[in-house]
Structure 1
Amino acid sequence: MGMIPESSSSAGEPVDALGAGQASEPQSKTWVFRRNCSLTPKQLLHWYLSLCAITLVIATGFLLAGFWIVLPFAGLELFLVGTAFVVYARHAADYEMIELQPNQLVLVMADGAKLTQLKWTPQWAKLSYNGKYKAPLLFSHRGQQVKIGKFIAEKDKSALHRELKAALARATCPV
Protein backbone atom coordinates (compact mmCIF):
# COMPACT_ATOMS: atom_id res chain seq x y z
CA MET A 1 0.00 0.00 0.00
CA GLY A 2 1.76 3.17 -1.16
CA MET A 3 1.57 6.39 0.76
CA ILE A 4 2.23 9.72 -0.85
CA PRO A 5 2.94 13.05 0.80
CA GLU A 6 0.48 15.86 0.27
CA SER A 7 1.11 19.50 0.91
CA SER A 8 -1.12 22.51 0.83
CA SER A 9 0.19 23.72 -2.52
CA SER A 10 -0.17 22.03 -5.89
CA ALA A 11 3.58 22.01 -6.57
CA GLY A 12 4.35 19.99 -3.44
CA GLU A 13 6.00 22.95 -1.73
CA PRO A 14 4.99 24.26 1.68
CA VAL A 15 2.84 27.37 1.69
CA ASP A 16 2.60 30.31 4.02
CA ALA A 17 -0.16 30.61 6.59
CA LEU A 18 -2.29 32.74 4.25
CA GLY A 19 -1.99 30.16 1.48
CA ALA A 20 -0.65 32.72 -0.98
CA GLY A 21 2.45 30.74 -1.98
CA GLN A 22 4.54 33.90 -2.41
CA ALA A 23 8.07 33.89 -3.76
CA SER A 24 9.45 35.49 -0.59
CA GLU A 25 10.16 33.39 2.47
CA PRO A 26 6.83 32.72 4.23
CA GLN A 27 6.43 33.17 7.99
CA SER A 28 4.64 29.85 8.48
CA LYS A 29 5.04 26.56 6.61
CA THR A 30 2.80 23.52 6.69
CA TRP A 31 3.40 19.94 5.55
CA VAL A 32 0.48 17.47 5.51
CA PHE A 33 0.84 13.74 4.87
CA ARG A 34 -2.19 11.51 4.24
CA ARG A 35 -2.96 7.94 3.27
CA ASN A 36 -3.32 7.31 -0.43
CA CYS A 37 -7.01 6.33 -0.28
CA SER A 38 -9.21 6.15 -3.33
CA LEU A 39 -12.51 6.66 -1.47
CA THR A 40 -13.52 8.93 1.38
CA PRO A 41 -15.64 7.35 4.12
CA LYS A 42 -18.76 9.09 2.73
CA GLN A 43 -18.11 7.81 -0.80
CA LEU A 44 -17.50 4.35 0.63
CA LEU A 45 -20.86 4.45 2.43
CA HIS A 46 -22.68 5.36 -0.80
CA TRP A 47 -20.87 2.59 -2.66
CA TYR A 48 -21.73 0.08 0.07
CA LEU A 49 -25.41 1.06 0.13
CA SER A 50 -25.65 0.60 -3.64
CA LEU A 51 -23.93 -2.79 -3.27
CA CYS A 52 -26.51 -3.74 -0.62
CA ALA A 53 -29.42 -2.69 -2.82
CA ILE A 54 -28.18 -4.65 -5.85
CA THR A 55 -27.32 -7.75 -3.81
CA LEU A 56 -30.68 -7.77 -2.00
CA VAL A 57 -32.61 -7.35 -5.27
CA ILE A 58 -30.78 -10.34 -6.76
CA ALA A 59 -31.16 -12.42 -3.55
CA THR A 60 -34.88 -11.59 -3.42
CA GLY A 61 -35.21 -12.82 -7.01
CA PHE A 62 -33.68 -16.12 -6.00
CA LEU A 63 -35.97 -16.24 -2.93
CA LEU A 64 -39.04 -15.78 -5.15
CA ALA A 65 -37.74 -18.54 -7.46
CA GLY A 66 -37.62 -20.92 -4.50
CA PHE A 67 -33.93 -20.75 -3.62
CA TRP A 68 -34.35 -19.32 -0.11
CA ILE A 69 -30.82 -20.27 0.97
CA VAL A 70 -29.31 -17.50 -1.19
CA LEU A 71 -30.79 -14.73 0.99
CA PRO A 72 -29.02 -15.67 4.28
CA PHE A 73 -25.70 -16.04 2.46
CA ALA A 74 -26.20 -12.66 0.78
CA GLY A 75 -26.91 -11.14 4.21
CA LEU A 76 -23.77 -12.75 5.65
CA GLU A 77 -21.72 -11.50 2.72
CA LEU A 78 -23.02 -7.93 3.15
CA PHE A 79 -22.31 -8.06 6.88
CA LEU A 80 -18.69 -9.18 6.32
CA VAL A 81 -18.08 -6.63 3.56
CA GLY A 82 -19.62 -3.91 5.77
CA THR A 83 -17.35 -4.89 8.66
CA ALA A 84 -14.29 -4.67 6.41
CA PHE A 85 -15.41 -1.25 5.14
CA VAL A 86 -15.86 0.05 8.70
CA VAL A 87 -12.31 -1.04 9.57
CA TYR A 88 -11.04 0.68 6.41
CA ALA A 89 -13.07 3.87 6.95
CA ARG A 90 -11.84 4.32 10.53
CA HIS A 91 -8.34 4.99 9.22
CA ALA A 92 -9.04 6.41 5.75
CA ALA A 93 -8.79 9.98 7.04
CA ASP A 94 -5.60 9.50 9.09
CA TYR A 95 -2.93 12.15 8.59
CA GLU A 96 0.20 13.75 9.98
CA MET A 97 0.79 17.50 9.87
CA ILE A 98 3.86 19.58 10.60
CA GLU A 99 3.35 23.33 10.94
CA LEU A 100 6.37 25.50 11.50
CA GLN A 101 5.62 29.02 12.70
CA PRO A 102 8.23 31.61 13.75
CA ASN A 103 7.89 30.78 17.47
CA GLN A 104 6.11 27.44 17.43
CA LEU A 105 6.39 23.96 15.92
CA VAL A 106 3.03 22.19 15.80
CA LEU A 107 2.84 18.43 15.20
CA VAL A 108 -0.59 16.87 14.65
CA MET A 109 -1.16 13.13 14.26
CA ALA A 110 -4.64 11.73 13.56
CA ASP A 111 -4.96 7.96 13.93
CA GLY A 112 -8.55 6.76 13.77
CA ALA A 113 -10.46 8.59 16.51
CA LYS A 114 -7.24 9.57 18.31
CA LEU A 115 -5.91 13.08 17.63
CA THR A 116 -2.55 14.09 19.09
CA GLN A 117 -1.40 17.70 18.90
CA LEU A 118 1.94 18.88 20.22
CA LYS A 119 3.17 22.47 20.35
CA TRP A 120 6.90 22.90 20.74
CA THR A 121 9.46 25.68 20.62
CA PRO A 122 11.42 25.30 17.34
CA GLN A 123 14.67 26.35 19.02
CA TRP A 124 14.53 23.25 21.25
CA ALA A 125 13.28 20.83 18.58
CA LYS A 126 15.63 18.38 16.92
CA LEU A 127 14.96 16.31 13.81
CA SER A 128 16.78 13.08 13.01
CA TYR A 129 16.56 10.41 10.32
CA ASN A 130 18.92 7.46 9.95
CA GLY A 131 18.16 6.78 6.27
CA LYS A 132 17.27 3.12 6.76
CA TYR A 133 14.30 1.50 5.01
CA LYS A 134 11.01 2.12 6.85
CA ALA A 135 12.74 4.39 9.40
CA PRO A 136 10.59 7.29 10.57
CA LEU A 137 11.58 10.93 10.89
CA LEU A 138 12.13 11.49 14.59
CA PHE A 139 11.32 14.82 16.23
CA SER A 140 12.60 15.28 19.77
CA HIS A 141 12.00 18.13 22.18
CA ARG A 142 13.19 18.21 25.80
CA GLY A 143 13.16 14.43 26.22
CA GLN A 144 9.92 13.83 24.31
CA GLN A 145 10.11 11.99 20.97
CA VAL A 146 7.58 11.74 18.15
CA LYS A 147 7.82 9.55 15.04
CA ILE A 148 6.55 11.09 11.80
CA GLY A 149 6.48 9.56 8.35
CA LYS A 150 4.23 6.52 8.13
CA PHE A 151 2.45 8.14 5.15
CA ILE A 152 5.62 9.32 3.38
CA ALA A 153 7.05 7.36 0.46
CA GLU A 154 10.50 5.95 1.27
CA LYS A 155 12.08 7.72 -1.71
CA ASP A 156 10.87 11.10 -0.40
CA LYS A 157 11.99 10.82 3.23
CA SER A 158 15.59 11.97 2.84
CA ALA A 159 14.58 15.02 0.77
CA LEU A 160 11.87 15.88 3.30
CA HIS A 161 14.38 15.47 6.12
CA ARG A 162 16.73 17.98 4.47
CA GLU A 163 13.86 20.40 3.81
CA LEU A 164 12.51 20.20 7.36
CA LYS A 165 16.00 20.49 8.86
CA ALA A 166 16.63 23.66 6.83
CA ALA A 167 13.25 25.11 7.79
CA LEU A 168 13.93 24.39 11.48
CA ALA A 169 17.32 26.08 11.18
CA ARG A 170 15.70 29.17 9.61
CA ALA A 171 13.07 29.24 12.38
CA THR A 172 15.79 28.95 15.00
CA CYS A 173 17.97 31.71 13.51
CA PRO A 174 15.69 34.12 11.65
CA VAL A 175 17.47 36.37 9.14
Structure 2
Amino acid sequence: MVTTTSDTIAGSRIFEVRPNCSLSREGMVVFFVAVTVLTLLVAVRFILLGAWLVLPFALLEILVLGVSLYLFERASRYSETIQIAPDSLLIITRSGVKTLREYRFQPYWVHVALQPDPRDWYPSKLLLRSHGESLEIGACLTNADRKTLAKTITTALESCRRTH
Protein backbone atom coordinates (compact mmCIF):
# COMPACT_ATOMS: atom_id res chain seq x y z
CA MET A 1 0.00 0.00 0.00
CA VAL A 2 1.43 3.38 -1.01
CA THR A 3 0.31 6.75 0.33
CA THR A 4 1.53 10.01 -1.16
CA THR A 5 1.75 13.49 0.32
CA SER A 6 3.07 16.66 -1.29
CA ASP A 7 4.62 19.72 0.30
CA THR A 8 4.16 22.54 -2.22
CA ILE A 9 6.17 25.05 -0.19
CA ALA A 10 9.31 22.90 0.02
CA GLY A 11 8.61 21.28 -3.35
CA SER A 12 8.92 17.74 -2.01
CA ARG A 13 6.87 14.58 -2.33
CA ILE A 14 6.70 11.88 0.30
CA PHE A 15 5.74 8.27 -0.43
CA GLU A 16 4.92 5.91 2.43
CA VAL A 17 5.17 2.22 1.46
CA ARG A 18 3.65 -0.35 3.84
CA PRO A 19 2.47 -3.94 3.56
CA ASN A 20 -1.26 -4.21 3.00
CA CYS A 21 -2.46 -5.55 6.35
CA SER A 22 -6.21 -6.07 6.57
CA LEU A 23 -6.25 -6.98 10.26
CA SER A 24 -5.43 -4.27 12.80
CA ARG A 25 -3.73 -4.87 16.14
CA GLU A 26 -7.06 -4.57 17.96
CA GLY A 27 -8.63 -7.01 15.50
CA MET A 28 -5.85 -9.51 16.21
CA VAL A 29 -6.46 -9.24 19.95
CA VAL A 30 -10.22 -9.78 19.50
CA PHE A 31 -9.56 -12.77 17.23
CA PHE A 32 -7.05 -14.26 19.69
CA VAL A 33 -9.40 -13.83 22.67
CA ALA A 34 -12.35 -15.34 20.76
CA VAL A 35 -10.33 -18.39 19.63
CA THR A 36 -8.86 -18.78 23.15
CA VAL A 37 -12.29 -18.73 24.80
CA LEU A 38 -13.76 -21.20 22.31
CA THR A 39 -10.77 -23.54 22.60
CA LEU A 40 -10.90 -23.47 26.40
CA LEU A 41 -14.65 -24.11 26.39
CA VAL A 42 -14.15 -27.19 24.21
CA ALA A 43 -11.23 -28.33 26.38
CA VAL A 44 -13.28 -27.93 29.57
CA ARG A 45 -16.11 -29.97 28.03
CA PHE A 46 -13.66 -32.77 27.19
CA ILE A 47 -12.19 -32.60 30.72
CA LEU A 48 -15.68 -33.00 32.18
CA LEU A 49 -16.16 -36.07 29.96
CA GLY A 50 -12.91 -37.53 31.34
CA ALA A 51 -10.57 -36.81 28.45
CA TRP A 52 -8.12 -34.65 30.39
CA LEU A 53 -5.36 -35.12 27.80
CA VAL A 54 -7.08 -32.58 25.52
CA LEU A 55 -6.14 -29.64 27.80
CA PRO A 56 -2.34 -29.63 27.18
CA PHE A 57 -2.89 -29.75 23.43
CA ALA A 58 -5.47 -26.96 23.62
CA LEU A 59 -3.00 -24.80 25.58
CA LEU A 60 -0.27 -25.61 23.04
CA GLU A 61 -2.63 -24.56 20.23
CA ILE A 62 -3.34 -21.26 21.99
CA LEU A 63 0.38 -20.66 22.51
CA VAL A 64 1.23 -21.34 18.85
CA LEU A 65 -1.60 -19.06 17.68
CA GLY A 66 -0.47 -16.26 20.04
CA VAL A 67 3.15 -16.44 18.90
CA SER A 68 2.10 -16.54 15.24
CA LEU A 69 -0.14 -13.49 15.60
CA TYR A 70 2.62 -11.62 17.46
CA LEU A 71 5.18 -12.35 14.74
CA PHE A 72 2.68 -11.39 12.02
CA GLU A 73 1.86 -8.09 13.75
CA ARG A 74 5.54 -7.30 14.24
CA ALA A 75 6.29 -7.94 10.55
CA SER A 76 3.35 -5.76 9.46
CA ARG A 77 4.92 -2.69 11.12
CA TYR A 78 7.54 -2.47 8.35
CA SER A 79 7.48 0.74 6.30
CA GLU A 80 9.58 2.68 3.81
CA THR A 81 9.44 6.45 3.55
CA ILE A 82 10.68 7.93 0.28
CA GLN A 83 11.09 11.71 0.32
CA ILE A 84 11.90 13.40 -2.97
CA ALA A 85 13.05 17.00 -2.62
CA PRO A 86 14.80 19.20 -5.20
CA ASP A 87 18.17 18.68 -3.50
CA SER A 88 17.96 15.13 -2.10
CA LEU A 89 16.22 11.78 -2.26
CA LEU A 90 15.89 10.23 1.20
CA ILE A 91 14.73 6.67 1.87
CA ILE A 92 14.07 5.60 5.45
CA THR A 93 13.22 1.98 6.27
CA ARG A 94 11.54 1.27 9.61
CA SER A 95 10.39 -1.75 11.53
CA GLY A 96 7.86 -0.39 14.00
CA VAL A 97 9.27 2.59 15.82
CA LYS A 98 12.90 1.68 15.20
CA THR A 99 14.64 3.15 12.13
CA LEU A 100 16.57 0.43 10.37
CA ARG A 101 18.41 2.38 7.67
CA GLU A 102 18.58 5.71 5.92
CA TYR A 103 19.73 6.14 2.34
CA ARG A 104 20.40 9.47 0.66
CA PHE A 105 20.80 10.03 -3.08
CA GLN A 106 21.22 13.02 -5.35
CA PRO A 107 17.87 13.10 -7.29
CA TYR A 108 19.47 14.28 -10.52
CA TRP A 109 21.48 11.06 -10.86
CA VAL A 110 18.90 8.53 -9.67
CA HIS A 111 17.60 6.04 -12.20
CA VAL A 112 14.42 4.07 -11.45
CA ALA A 113 14.50 0.51 -12.80
CA LEU A 114 11.69 -2.02 -12.68
CA GLN A 115 13.21 -5.46 -13.25
CA PRO A 116 10.74 -8.22 -14.08
CA ASP A 117 11.70 -11.81 -13.41
CA PRO A 118 12.80 -13.38 -16.73
CA ARG A 119 10.74 -16.52 -16.12
CA ASP A 120 7.85 -14.70 -14.41
CA TRP A 121 8.13 -16.98 -11.37
CA TYR A 122 9.02 -14.30 -8.85
CA PRO A 123 7.81 -10.74 -8.29
CA SER A 124 9.53 -7.89 -10.09
CA LYS A 125 12.08 -5.69 -8.33
CA LEU A 126 11.89 -1.91 -8.11
CA LEU A 127 15.42 -0.53 -7.90
CA LEU A 128 16.82 2.96 -7.38
CA ARG A 129 20.29 3.21 -8.92
CA SER A 130 22.88 5.92 -8.57
CA HIS A 131 26.68 5.98 -8.87
CA GLY A 132 27.02 2.20 -8.90
CA GLU A 133 24.76 1.69 -5.88
CA SER A 134 21.41 -0.03 -6.09
CA LEU A 135 18.58 -0.09 -3.54
CA GLU A 136 15.42 -2.19 -3.76
CA ILE A 137 12.23 -0.49 -2.60
CA GLY A 138 8.62 -1.62 -2.43
CA ALA A 139 9.36 -5.32 -1.88
CA CYS A 140 6.07 -5.67 0.04
CA LEU A 141 3.99 -4.39 -2.91
CA THR A 142 2.25 -6.29 -5.67
CA ASN A 143 3.64 -6.11 -9.20
CA ALA A 144 0.93 -3.65 -10.27
CA ASP A 145 1.57 -1.38 -7.27
CA ARG A 146 5.31 -1.57 -7.88
CA LYS A 147 4.81 -0.52 -11.52
CA THR A 148 2.61 2.41 -10.48
CA LEU A 149 5.13 3.49 -7.83
CA ALA A 150 7.95 3.35 -10.40
CA LYS A 151 6.03 5.64 -12.77
CA THR A 152 5.13 8.05 -9.96
CA ILE A 153 8.69 8.26 -8.63
CA THR A 154 10.05 8.73 -12.15
CA THR A 155 7.60 11.59 -12.72
CA ALA A 156 8.51 13.19 -9.38
CA LEU A 157 12.23 12.90 -10.15
CA GLU A 158 11.77 14.45 -13.60
CA SER A 159 9.89 17.39 -12.11
CA CYS A 160 12.70 17.87 -9.56
CA ARG A 161 15.27 17.84 -12.37
CA ARG A 162 13.32 20.47 -14.32
CA THR A 163 13.07 22.82 -11.32
CA HIS A 164 16.65 22.34 -10.18
- The answer, yes or no, to whether TM exceeds 0.5 is yes
Amino acid aligned to 1:151? C
Aligned twin of 2:6? 16
Instruction: Quote how far apart the aligned CAs of 1:25 are.
Output: 9.2
Please say if residues 92 and 99 of structure 2, whose CA atoms lie closer than 8 Å, have aligned partners that are also in contact.
no
Q: What TM-score, normalized by structure 1, do the two folds share?
A: 0.75
Amino acid aligned to 1:169? E
- Structure ranking higher in strand proportion: 2
Please say if residues 96 and 109 of structure 1, whose CA atoms lie closer than 8 Å, have aligned partners that are also in contact.
yes
Q: Using the aligned pairs only, state the percent identity.
A: 25
Amino acid aligned to 2:72? Y
Which one of 9, 13, 28 corresponds to residue 12 of structure 2? 28
Instruction: Quote how far apart the aligned CAs of 1:78 are.
Output: 1.1
In angstroms, what is the RMSD of aligned CA positions? 2.6
**C-alpha distance in 2 between matches for 1:110 and 1:81:** 26
Aligned residues: 159
Alpha-carbon displacement from aligned partner over 1:66-110 (angstroms, at most 9, x marks no partner): 221121111121122223223322212222222112222111223
Q: What TM-score, normalized by structure 2, do the two folds share?
A: 0.79
Which one of 127, 134, 141 corresponds to residue 112 of structure 2? 127
Give 5+ residue unaligned stretches, structure 1.
Answer: 8-13, 18-23
Aligned twin of 1:10? none
Which one of 116, 119, 125 corresponds to residue 101 of structure 2? 116
Cα 1:61–1:158 change in 2 (3 A) is closer
Q: Secondary structure at the match of 1:71?
A: helix
Aligned twin of 1:82? 66
Aligned twin of 1:157? 146
**C-alpha distance in 2 between matches for 1:172 and 1:160:** 18
Q: Which moved further from structure 2: 31-40 or 42-51?
A: 42-51
**C-alpha distance in 1 between matches for 2:51 and 2:141:** 50
Alpha-carbon displacement from aligned partner over 1:120-148 (angstroms, at most 9, x marks no partner): 22123222223555221111233321101
Residues 1:59 and 2:43 aligned together: yes
Amino acid aligned to 1:39? L
**C-alpha distance in 2 between matches for 1:111 and 1:136:** 20
Instruction: Quote how far apart the aligned CAs of 1:165 are.
Output: 1.3
Please say if residues 95 and 151 of structure 1, whose CA atoms lie closer than 8 Å, have aligned partners that are also in contact.
no
**C-alpha distance in 1 between matches for 2:25 and 2:157:** 35
